[in-house]
Structure 1
Amino acid sequence: MMLQEHSSPPAKKYKPDSLLVSFSTKQNMLGSRKDTVSVEQQRRSLPIHQARIQLINQLRQLDCAVLIGETGSGKTTQVPQYLFEAGIGRQGIVGITQPRRVAALSLAARVAEEKKTELGKLVGYTVRFEDATSDETKIKFLTDGMLLREAIGDPLLRRYSVVILDEAHERTVHTDVLFGVVKAAQRKRKDLDKPPLKVLIMSATVDVDLFSQYFNKAPVLYLEGRQHPIQIFYTKQPQSDYLHAALVSLFQIHQEAEAAHDILAFLTGQEEIEAMAKTCRDISKHLPDGCPQMVVVPLYASLPPTQQLRVFQSVPKGCRKVILSTNIAETSITISGIKYVIDTGMVKAKKYNPESGLEVLAVQRVAKAQAWQRSGRAGREDSGICYRLYTEEEFEKFDSMTVPEIQRCNLAGVMLHLMAMRIPNVMTFDFMSKPSPNAIQAAVDQLDLLGAVDRKDGQLLLTALGRKMAAFPLEPKFSKTILLSSEFHCAEEILTIIAVLSVDSVLYNPPTKREDVQSARKKFISSEGDHMTLLNIYRAFKNVSRNKEWCRENFVNNRNMMLASEVRSQLRDICLKLGMPLESSRMDTGNIRRCLAHGLFMHVAELQLDGTYVTLDTHQPVAIHPSSVLFHCKPAYVIYNELLHTSKCYMRDLCVIDSEWLYETAPDYFRRKLKSNKN
């Protein structure tokens, strides 16, 4: 299915000669949506509107289809409405999955506005720890992780008549598992003569053949978006410091461009974004008269929804909005007013090696597909400009597509949830991009060590403990720790620690106020490690009734603490449903650390004679991260939450433990590990 291509105005000439970061240019045509007077006129002006009748007729006849729509075609907001308005799937819910919560929230709000309905009624959303739906909801936006959780209780997804898997090209681990789950649900419903499930896979850029073949040679429908020219500038020389290059480029644009033209810069994570936001605000105070005021808006996954939605709010006349974002802004969401994009070419991604058991969070180059998605943000409404902070030669060496997350992550959580869905044989699950047999086996071995699975007559089965672990939207190691906490009479404290660890850092460390930070933190620091320190901070936060001023004085991130408080409340509800006794250990921190050791026993490091550390399971050399309260200490044994690989492999979030606790939790495992270490 094709739409006639829209003609585009020629690219506006722009010479970045005065930029301190030197660029060369390349032009590209990418899509956009142009805002018009009313919501209804906007809907009618979208390219997809011209194909509405043809599209509805096609989808009415098909059980499954792949819809490729160029950026700006309107597919994400309009297709669910077209299906509903045409009566397709009205007997159930039209569910639209998104990889990210901010997209699910903003899209639901937009479609509710277009349908002239209150959010949570006809149109609603469900994201982790938040549900805005009702019995009236027929169009439901939700994160792919939330649909997976629904599938645990109902593998046939009986409430849904249509499932739209949007942004399929992102290939998050949840999306890839959903492909298999939805495909199986569709087949089973047909076999059992149940009402059919219609499946629609939507994407802007995707390996069409791979998707079509996987979904039983599903037809591929094409939509074209409105074209707006985008000029792309590459740097003439490779940049050794992408953050400095981004800052220089940002202020050069800010001083030369019209105030109404907003800037979007892609960075890699919360710490980077918050640090640059502060720098931008500081510098902008000292710019010459006549320069627009700068409104800096951060955007990353762990920001509370109200903060994330600030990117969509307009700024006063004469001001420029500058959005500093992770790859969360690459797809799905349309932020109006963006004229300039600064692409650092970097992204933070997890990589897991099943042979070594090492999972590291590392900053790496984006793939070409990601770079084009980022460029496209500049051309949504009019011609735009993208500055790539790398050379064209470097770009040509980028991978074409991002490696699916399912092939580079620890699969323990995936396997646990597949088994909770009663998948007959998780070892042979129908993955679109199958992980290596080693990765699958390593995940099963981990679940075995955690006591979540049992082998019976050659079959892999969930234990009673494993079924309880699957009830939590957490990594298996954290679920196990919570479930163990009642044995150690410290459930309230463990819930707090895991809730705080489940959000981005609650500590704010402005580099210009190091002494003030250290002084403020002294009263919370525990010699027993970061977990106990975080527990002390949360207790103090609660004692002052979540006071914002207290947070400011103590360099605590109020937004993340509030989010941790919400997460804790949800986890506590799950514990109560499971009938867990929720006790507090009061001031007995030994029990808390012992519980953490029992739950996180696969994340242990041992001090060596030369003063360095190695992990017990893989003998990987590791170091204590400078942000840890144990940075200047040398405890004999520590457990850690994750490894971060930068110049070396750092352990983050540490807790001091006793070696005998390890023998208690998994005697055979540790006898083997400690013995091999000595050898």
Structure 2
Amino acid sequence: MVAKPLDFNNENEKYEERSFSRNSNNSNSKTICNGNFKRDPLPVDCFKKHIIEILNHLEDTVIFIGETASGKSTQIPQFCCDAGLSENGLIGVTQPRRVAAKTLAERVATEMGTKVGQLVGYKFRFENNCGNDTRILYQTEGILLREAQHDARLKRYSTIIVDEVHERTINMDVLLYILKQAQTNRKEKDEAPLRLILMSATMNLQKLQKYFNKAEAYYVRGRQHVVKLFNAPSLKINENDYLFNAISTVLHNGFLVFLTGQEEIETAINIIRKTKKNEKSAEKKQYEKIFALPLYAAIPTDKQNLIFSSTPNVSIVVFSTNIAETSITIPGIRLIIDSGKMKRRTFSPQNHMDVLEVVNISKAQAIQRAGRAGREAPGKCYRLYSQHDYEGFESVEVPELLRSNISSVLLSLINHSLSRLEQMSRLIDSPSNDQLQSATSELLALNAIHLEQIGDHLNVHITEEGQSLVLFPVEPILAKILLAASRLNCIEEACTVVAFLSVEHIFQNNNQEIFCKLETGKYGQEDSSNSLNTTLANFNTNDGDHVRYVKILRKYSSDKTAKKDKNFFRDLGLIENSIETVILIRKQLIKLCHNKKLPVKSCGSEFTSLRQAICKGLFQNACIYDSSSKNYVFAKDRKIVVRIHPSSCLKNQTMPAFVFSELIKTNEIYARDICPIELDWIKESQEICSTTNRELDRVKQLRLVTSPCSSISSTSSNSQRKGILPIKKTKTPIITEQKNVIQPRKVKITEKKNNKPGNKQNAKNNGNDKEVKKKDEEEIDEKKDEKDDLECNGIRSKFSRQNLGVRHILVQIQKDAIAPVDKIKQKFENNNRGKKIAEKRRKKEAKVKQPQIVDYEISSGSESSKNEDEEIESDDSLVLKLN
């Protein structure tokens, strides 16, 4: 039954007058309380009665688009309990990240007056805090997917809430397919319906609604404070060195800094610490109050709590990946530094290469990052890229499924219910034919599937080997190493290797070149060859990098002194947090091998069998030595030259052939994690592949039918708001006055208009030459005055000589630190030089439509604008105002 439109005529439902208690809806207090716990009301609280009414009539799917800080992630699961949905089964809530799953569960448990693990629990890899009494279970998408392998209809759930749908990870897209199938299967068997609630901050609604049979969508307005946005001008020096730009800025204030990955984050923190030690005594006191913390997916959960703890009289600097873009709120953060970069893994089906590259973020991500500054109070976001650069960003990020190796996805779906390859078009976005052919080729070569032609259809079946591969929570090629190792009696060592290969970053990035930038200001002039600690060389071996991993872990496990040494891994140049994860993964794999009754044996000190097992899994990643060019070339395409990564223990060795775990593309293509092999081992694998060529030819003839949803553009537009039912028109507690509030996802630019009488066209024709000449003179004067403007108050940046773009940012930061901006402007305009510059700027601002420094509100009203000519469709719900 489709939810009915809501009644908005009840004046008692207004936000200012409404208060809630978990036990009573008639409290007169504006503070929501339950026992000893009290909290401020959230925007979604105003709609509790209406949302419960929707949930009471829900038998299929509903979509809630909730703005930042609306409270949807914590309150809607509780509304489900209030609606009685937990009486017939669990309420599952999926989150894309472990940090979010844990923090949200803890928050909801506190609000409900219970402990985590009782009524409210969480579950993700290596951590399970739930019990028999749990009614709301927060979990990662991967955990629910693993459960669906054993229970396709997810019978223990009455309701599943999928949060952050807009992120479009591989797990997210596959989960949507699995949940849609589970709903259909339950209906066919006349079982209780599986209620599905999809929640997102931003999303292409047309695509989502079409995929779920025109599901109703409701818009929940959020609470977002004003955020000032600063764009750096085009960087003329160190244009691509966003890491150095971010660190230079951070040393003068406390921020949330967005970087691309774990290695950069660890590097940034080391630089901050190094700089604090080397500062002169006059500035040392200021830097002693800076407390730098990392935030990324692999960080241990006990250390994540430091991010959310209170630190009075200390400037917190959190260096984070895109994990902090959504889901979580870091207390006390008012300032954001956005590098505008992220790491993106892109798969090339033609060459079967998985390449990790640093790319620009999307516009939607930029808006999400800026919004982190306004979760608790007005804030500021400093973007280390120009407005022109921003306009060149993609509207939204390409879904992960469309740029990845889908062999693991394909094998899981075949094991679940997929019987024909054409059914891959049932995903919300269909993978390309090249992706499908590459994945099928890999699985055929691994003997995981076999194909059967029946009429015009190509049926696909999972083999016994494939069913064994699916049992391991790793990629099929890594699971193949484990199965091969069980036959070669080296599974203990293979579990170690696979555990290391399952963790993205294990080496520290002690790059002394970056320290030189801060200490000498001479970028790149000092050489640094020792990127890893010299003690790591003690574990180097001609058997390759994978065997080096085995030796390191053996040393740690067998040597009591090493176990007691807290700096054992750090002295080897390894990241301790990553090694802790490796040990947990290895323990899990050993347990799975025992459960499957595989012989868990060791190869001792002879590693030939281990290298053979590695080759069985990674044979498609083979490189051979070309004696004529004296280069290593990719076996599948000998035009591709591959270098051995400098971190490898075989970087100075020559061998007939090797297999690698990962390719990294910078100026050249580097292979990481090298295992030397014999040419005969490759030939054996190629013979296996040749037996599948006829089957593969049939796959090449296959043309995947495009998903009906794929034709819908990923770029959001205002037209997609049709069909969305606003839950309520209400005021939100914005600190500054809201003006010109318009429909969500529209941008209204307010500017001063020239109301002088006269014919504008005649004026333009008569004085054209004079105006052009005057304009040129003004531009020359403005360029001359810009430098004086930046230095007018004696504000200096320590790093201004190194980077012009960062200097612009630092000037703004220093203004914030010294005095309010309006006072500085007044002081500047009091002198004669300032009056001249200020007058020219006022004239310039009257013409500019896209200022470099703007105030925006991610909140968005629902009143339509009166002047349609002034509205611009955009990907965000912002109100832009010229300063």
Q: TM-score, normalised by structure 2?
A: 0.70
Aligned partner of 2:671 among 645, 651, 660 = 651
- Structure 2 counterpart of 1:236: 233
Larger radius of gyration: 2
- Structure 2 counterpart of 1:21: none
Aligned partner of 1:363 among 337, 355, 358 = 358
- Structure 2 counterpart of 1:67: 64
Q: Distance in 2 between matches of 1:663 and 1:469?
A: 23
**Partners of 2:266 and 2:508 within 8 A in 1:** no
- Structure 1 counterpart of 2:24: none
Aligned partner of 2:537 among 507, 510, 522 = 522
Q: Distance in 2 between matches of 1:102 and 1:347?
A: 19
Q: Distance in 1 between matches of 2:559 and 2:43?
A: 53
- Structure 2 counterpart of 1:318: 313
Q: Distance in 1 between matches of 2:468 and 2:286?
A: 61
Distance change (3 Å), C-alpha of 1:248 and 1:35: farther
Aligned partner of 1:632 among 652, 657, 680 = 652
**Partners of 2:65 and 2:199 within 8 A in 1:** yes
- Structure 2 counterpart of 1:247: 247
Higher mean Cα deviation, 614-623 or 511-520?
Answer: 511-520
**Partners of 1:338 and 1:378 within 8 A in 2:** yes
| Percent identical residues | 36
Please list the CA deviations of residues 284-323 of structure 1 after superposition, one character each: whole Å capped at 9, or x if unmatched.
Answer: 34234355611111111122222233211222x2111110
Q: Distance in 2 between matches of 1:42 and 1:178?
A: 35
Distance change (3 Å), C-alpha of 1:35 and 1:487: farther
- Tell me how far 1:234 sits from its aligned partner: 0.4
Distance change (3 Å), C-alpha of 1:537 and 1:661: same
The 5-angstrom pairing of residues 331-480 of structure 1 reads: 331-429=326-424, 430-457=426-453, 458-480=458-480
| 1:612 and 2:612 aligned | no
Higher mean Cα deviation, 476-485 or 627-636?
Answer: 627-636
**Partners of 1:43 and 1:49 within 8 A in 2:** no
- Structure 1 counterpart of 2:112: 115
**Partners of 2:540 and 2:548 within 8 A in 1:** yes
Please list the CA deviations of residues 418-453 of structure 1 after superposition, one character each: whole Å capped at 9, or x if unmatched.
Answer: 112123334313111111122122211111110100
| 1:215 and 2:200 aligned | no
Aligned partner of 2:683 among 641, 646, 663 = 663
Please list the CA deviations of residues 498-546 of structure 1 after superposition, one character each: whole Å capped at 9, or x if unmatched.
Answer: 1122123333342349659443112111122110111111111112353
The 5-angstrom pairing of residues 181-200 of structure 1 reads: 181-200=178-197
- Structure 2 counterpart of 1:103: 100
Q: Distance in 2 between matches of 1:36 and 1:271?
A: 42
Distance change (3 Å), C-alpha of 1:418 and 1:365: same
Q: Distance in 1 between matches of 2:87 and 2:190?
A: 18
- Tell me how far 1:38 sits from its aligned partner: 8.6
| 1:167 and 2:164 aligned | yes
Residue type of the alignment partner of 2:178: V
**Partners of 1:418 and 1:426 within 8 A in 2:** no
**Partners of 2:34 and 2:111 within 8 A in 1:** no
- Tell me how far 1:271 sits from its aligned partner: 1.0
- Structure 2 counterpart of 1:29: none
Q: Distance in 1 between matches of 2:469 and 2:590?
A: 14
**Partners of 2:32 and 2:40 within 8 A in 1:** no
**Partners of 2:663 and 2:671 within 8 A in 1:** yes
**Partners of 1:69 and 1:225 within 8 A in 2:** yes
Q: Distance in 1 between matches of 2:132 and 2:630?
A: 61
| 1:265 and 2:257 aligned | yes
| 1:598 and 2:616 aligned | yes
- Tell me how far 1:124 sits from its aligned partner: 1.3
**Could you list the runs of 5+ residues in structure 2 that have no partner in the other structure?**
1-5, 17-29, 513-527, 694-883
Higher mean Cα deviation, 285-294 or 226-235?
Answer: 285-294
Please list the CA deviations of residues 536-560 of structure 1 after superposition, one character each: whole Å capped at 9, or x if unmatched.
Answer: 1111111235331323433332222
Q: Distance in 1 between matches of 2:107 and 2:98?
A: 14
Distance change (3 Å), C-alpha of 1:35 and 1:332: farther
Higher mean Cα deviation, 377-386 or 522-531?
Answer: 522-531
Q: Distance in 1 between matches of 2:331 and 2:532?
A: 38
- Structure 2 counterpart of 1:141: 138
Residue type of the alignment partner of 2:567: E
- Structure 2 counterpart of 1:154: 151
- Tell me how far 1:576 sits from its aligned partner: 1.3
Q: Distance in 2 between matches of 1:127 and 1:514?
A: 40
Q: Distance in 2 between matches of 1:321 and 1:495?
A: 39
Residue type of the alignment partner of 2:606: D
- Tell me how far 1:671 sits from its aligned partner: 11
Higher mean Cα deviation, 506-515 or 232-241?
Answer: 506-515
**Partners of 1:93 and 1:162 within 8 A in 2:** yes
**Partners of 1:5 and 1:224 within 8 A in 2:** no
Please list the CA deviations of residues 546-586 of structure 1 after superposition, one character each: whole Å capped at 9, or x if unmatched.
Answer: 33132343333222222111111111111111111111001
Q: Distance in 1 between matches of 2:567 and 2:286?
A: 34
Q: Distance in 2 between matches of 1:392 and 1:648?
A: 31
Q: Distance in 2 between matches of 1:4 and 1:384?
A: 27
Higher mean Cα deviation, 283-292 or 448-457?
Answer: 283-292
**Partners of 1:95 and 1:160 within 8 A in 2:** yes
Distance change (3 Å), C-alpha of 1:98 and 1:35: farther
Instruction: Name the SS of the counterpart of 2:251 in structure 1.
Output: helix
Residue type of the alignment partner of 1:578: K
Q: TM-score, normalised by structure 1?
A: 0.90
Distance change (3 Å), C-alpha of 1:467 and 1:266: same
- Structure 2 counterpart of 1:507: 507
Higher mean Cα deviation, 375-384 or 103-112?
Answer: 103-112
**Could you list the runs of 5+ residues in structure 1 that have no partner in the other structure?**
7-33, 255-261, 674-679
Distance change (3 Å), C-alpha of 1:334 and 1:224: same
**Partners of 1:122 and 1:138 within 8 A in 2:** yes
- Structure 2 counterpart of 1:543: 558
- Structure 1 counterpart of 2:575: 557
Q: Distance in 2 between matches of 1:290 and 1:244?
A: 20
- Tell me how far 1:4 sits from its aligned partner: 7.1
| 1:180 and 2:172 aligned | no
Higher mean Cα deviation, 387-396 or 560-569?
Answer: 560-569
- Tell me how far 1:233 sits from its aligned partner: 0.4
Q: Distance in 2 between matches of 1:37 and 1:509?
A: 47
**Partners of 2:64 and 2:218 within 8 A in 1:** yes
Distance change (3 Å), C-alpha of 1:309 and 1:608: farther
Q: Distance in 2 between matches of 1:648 and 1:40?
A: 60
Residue type of the alignment partner of 2:264: E
Q: Distance in 2 between matches of 1:653 and 1:132?
A: 35
Please list the CA deviations of residues 193-223 of structure 1 after superposition, one character each: whole Å capped at 9, or x if unmatched.
Answer: 0111000110001111111111110001100
Residue type of the alignment partner of 2:616: H
Provide runs of 4+ in structure 1 moved above 6 Å. 1-6, 34-41, 670-673
Higher relative contact order (CA 8 A, sep 6+): 2
Q: Distance in 2 between matches of 1:313 and 1:576?
A: 41
- Tell me how far 1:39 sits from its aligned partner: 9.2
Q: Distance in 1 between matches of 2:338 and 2:604?
A: 49
**Partners of 1:126 and 1:142 within 8 A in 2:** yes
Aligned partner of 2:299 among 292, 303, 326 = 303
- Structure 2 counterpart of 1:127: 124
- Tell me how far 1:37 sits from its aligned partner: 9.5
Q: How many residues align?
A: 637
Q: Distance in 1 between matches of 2:67 and 2:199?
A: 10
